[in-house]
Amino acid sequence: MKTLVMKFGGTSVGSVSAIENVIQIVRKAREDGIEQIAVIVSAMSGVTNNLKAGILGAAAGETETAHQIGQTLREQHEAVLKALGGSDYAPTLAEINGMIDDYARFCDSVGVLGEATPRALDYTMGLGERISARQIAAVLRAADIPAQAVDATHMIVTDDRFQDAAPLMEPTCRRIQEVLPPIFEAGDVAVITGFVGATEAGISTTLGRGASDYSAAIVGACLNCDELWIWTDVDGVMSADPRVVPDAGTIDRLSYREIGELAYYGAKVLHPKTISPVVEAKVPIWVKNTFNPDHPGTLIVPNGEAQAGRIFKAVTAVHDTGLVTVEGRGMLGIPGIAARTFSAVARTGTSILLISQASSEQSICFMVPKASVQAVVDALSGEFEQEITRRDIDRIAALAPLTIITVVGAGMLHVRGIAAKVFAAVADADVNVIAIAQGSSECSISFAVSADDGDTAVRAIHALTK
C-alpha cells in the first residue's frame, strides 16, 4: 500500500486557477494508484498576514480592521467555492462564514481587552488553514475526488510556546495513526490544516510562520509515508532566491544536511524544521511547482553528494541581522565568559544565527536577528557589569543591519580554493566582509556583509556557477 503526503503552499491554494492545478495533481496521484493520500494545505496566500493585522489592529483600538478583513475573506472564499465547489457548496460556505464571524467577534473582545497575547494570536492566525482545508476538501469532492477536511488541532499535540510551538511526537503520532487510517479506508483523501496544532489541553497553537511544510513532514513521518511532496510556486529548490538572481536554476538533488543549511540560512522555499521529523524514517522529499507540475523539481534524500561540474550548489541570504561583539583584553584570564555570554543571550529568548570564527579569548562575536540586538546588548551589559567597571571587558558592541550570506554544497569544503574563489568574487564586487563562519556541518560557509551589499554579494557568488 502506497502512502503519499503532499503539501500545497499559500500561492498553490491562492486562486481559482491555482486550485484547479491542485485538483489535477491530486487526481493524477489517485490515477497512479496511490491508495493513501494526505494533503496538507496552507491558508490562501496573504490570509495569515491579514488575520494577524486584524487582531493586532483590534488590540490597538481599531475596531473596523478585523471586520473589513473578515469581509475580504468571505468574498475570497465565496469566489473559489462558486467557481469550483459544484452545485452543493452552500453548506461549506456557511461553515466558513460562521468561522469568520467567530474571528470578528473574538477580535472585538481583544479590542475590549486592549491586548493580543501570543495565545490569542495563535487562536486567530490558524483560521486561514482551517478554512482552506474545508475549501480544498469541498472542491475535491465537487471534482469527484472523495475528500474529508481534518483539523490538525486534533492530531498535532504541541507544547504551549504560542507562535512557535514544538510538536510532542509521541502523542502526535498516536493520534495521527488513529485519525487518518479510517479516512483512507473509506477511500477518501485527507485534507489537513498546515501550520496549526493544539496543546494536550486542546488550546490552539501554531508551529511558526511558514511551518505548513513542517506540519506535512510531521504527518509524513508518523504515517511512515513513501514520499513527501512539497508543492510550491517555483521549480524546486534553486541555486539562489529567484527573485534576487533571475537566472538561478533548479538543483536536482540535495541531502537533508544541505537543505537544512539552506533553509536555516534563508531559502524560504522550505521551513527549516521540515527535515527533523523525517530523518529517522528517511522519507524522500520532492519540492515541485504547482504551476509547472511536469518539471521534476528537487529531490531531497538522506545523504549528500557533490554535484558534478559545480563548485557549490546554492547561495542564500538572511536579511535584517546584527553582529554583537564582546571584547576586552582582560577577558583572557576570566573563566566562563563564553558560557555566561551565551546564557545571557538565551535568557532573552534569542537564537544565535552564527558564531564567528573571529572569536578568540579576547573577543566573542555572534549574529542574531536585528530585532533582538538591543535586548541582547542590554542583557550582556547587565551580565558583565562588574567586568565592564573593572575594564576587563572594554565594550559590548553591535553592528546592524547586516545580511548573512551562506554558500552550501556537500563536499565543498574539501575542494581546495573554494573559499578563496568565493571571497575573491565578493571582493571583486567591492563588498566588504564583516565576519566569517564555517558551517558546523562541513557543507557551508557563512559570512556577514552590510545590508546594502547583500544582493550584490549573492549575485557575485552565484555567477561563479556559470
Give the closest residue to 225 by CA, choosing from 38, 457, 443. Answer: 38
Determine contact, residues 343/385, Cβ cutoff 8 Å: no
Residues 216 and 211: their CA atoms lie apart, in Å, by 9
235 binds, among ligand ADP, ligand ASP, Mg ion, none (CB under 5 to 8 A by kind): none
* Stretch in the footprint of Mg ion (CB under 5 A) among 7-15, 47-55, 357-365, 448-456: 7-15
On whether the CB atoms of residues 189 and 219 are closer than 8 A, the answer is: no
Q: Which is nearer to ligand ASP, 9 or 277 (CB)?
A: 9
Dist. CA 315–CA 405, nearest whole Å: 7
Cβ–Cβ under 8 Å, residues 103 and 70: yes
Strand partners, 38: 5, 190
Q: Which of 57, 197, 210, 454 binds Mg ion (CB under 5 A)?
A: 210
- Retrieve residue 415's grid coordinates: 575542494
Pick 92 or 274: Cβ nearer ligand ADP? 274
DSSP assignment string, 109-131: HHHHHT---HHHHHHHHTHHHHH
324 contacts 380 by C-beta, under 8 angstroms: yes
Bridge partners of 318?
404
- Grid cell in block for residue 77: 472564499
238 contact choice in Mg ion, ligand ADP, ligand ASP, none (CB below 5 to 8 Å, kind-dependent) = ligand ADP
Smallest separation, CB 156 to Mg ion (Å): 17
Q: Which is nearer to ligand ASP, 298 or 341 (CB)?
A: 298
Q: Is 236 in the site for Mg ion (CB under 5 A)?
A: no
Task: Tell me the window of 204-212, 290-298, 333-341, 389-397 that interacts with Mg ion (CB under 5 A).
Answer: 204-212
Indicate which single residue of 242, 249, 330, 411 sits in contact with ligand ADP (rule: CB under 6 A): 242
Site string for ligand ADP, 259-298 (x = CB under 6 A): --------xxx-----------------------------
> Rounded to an integer, what distance in angstroms lies between the CA atom of residue 273 and that of residue 166?
10
**Residue 50: strand, helix, or coil:** helix
Q: In the 8-state DSSP scheme, what is residue 371?
A: G
Contact segment (CB under 6 A) with ligand ADP among 5-13, 33-41, 319-327, 422-430 equals 5-13
Applying CB under 5 A, which part among 3-11, 56-64, 186-194, 426-434 lies near Mg ion?
3-11
Find the shortest distance in angstroms from Cβ 248 to ligand ADP. 7
Residues in 423-442 at the binding interface with ligand ADP, rule: CB under 6 A: none
Cell of 424: 575573491
The residues of the shown chain that bind ligand ASP, judged by CB under 6 A, are: 9-10, 42-43, 48, 128, 194-195, 209-212
> If binding means CB under 6 A, how many residues of this protein chain bind ligand ADP?
19
Closest approach of ligand ADP to the CB of residue 249, in Å? 10
* Binding flags for ligand ADP, 19-58, as an x/- string (CB under 6 A): -----------------------x----------------
Here the cell at position 399 is: 553592528
Q: E strands, 123-233, where?
A: 147-150, 157-158, 189-193, 196-199, 204-206, 227-232
Helix (H) or strand (E) holding 53: helix 47-59
Under 8 Å between Cβ of 313 and 411: no
Contact 122, 152 (CB under 8 A): no
106 or 447: whose CB is closer to ligand ADP?
Answer: 447
Q: How far out from the chain centre does Cα 165 lie?
A: 13
Complex with ligand ASP: residue 207 or 326, whichever CB lies closer: 207
- The interface mask with Mg ion, positions 151-190, x = CB under 5 A, is ----------------------------------------
Residues that bind ligand ADP (CB under 6 A): 9-12, 42, 210, 232-234, 237-238, 240-243, 267-269, 314
Residues that bind Mg ion (CB under 5 A): 9, 210
